[in-house]
Amino acid sequence: MEQKELQILCEKISIDLFGEVFRHEVRFNNKLRTTGGRYLLKTHDIEINPKYLKEQGVDAVIEIIKHELCHYHLHIKGRGYKHGDRDFKCLMKKVGAPRFCKPLTTVKRVKQSYKYIYQCSTCKQEYKRKKRMDISRYACGKCRGELILKQEIKGS
């Protein structure tokens, strides 16, 4: 799918589902990594992650466009366009837009690693940390008990 086809698709979805014209630009952005698309508040343009087209097909791109058009049309009208706003949630439900897109399988998710495990000497609550901390300056957030270094993981 080329840029021009993407623009035509977006304009068609806007008229069919929202009953309004999309007057701005939609384009692919190769720099998007963690999201399927985004609506740009200043320019009113929409950017789509091309990896979704390659991996999940046109249907995934249509779902992303529907979601971004919800942001677009509500923002243009001066109504609640953010994810938590009631207007946004109602419009998404009305047009069948997804809240999130399916994650890409080609993108590697980095597992959070930790080096230190601290434990409360009173309630046994565990705290996993990447960096070493001065336990004389901190207490347990649950019971205010004293923290001890339970384990230091080597080689992470």
**Each residue of 100-109: b (16+ CB within 10 Å) or e?**
ebeebeeeee
Task: Output the average pLDDT for the chain.
Answer: 93
pLDDT value of residue 41: 96
Determine the pLDDT at residue 111: 66
Lowest mean pLDDT among 55-59, 111-115, 121-125: 111-115
Give the CATH number of domain 3-95: 3.30.2010.10
63 is catalytic: no
The catalytic residue among 2, 5, 25, 68 is 68
Domains of the chain by residue range: 3-95, 116-152
CA distance 117 to 119: 7
pTM greater than the 0.85 cutoff: no
Check residue 142 and give its pLDDT: 94
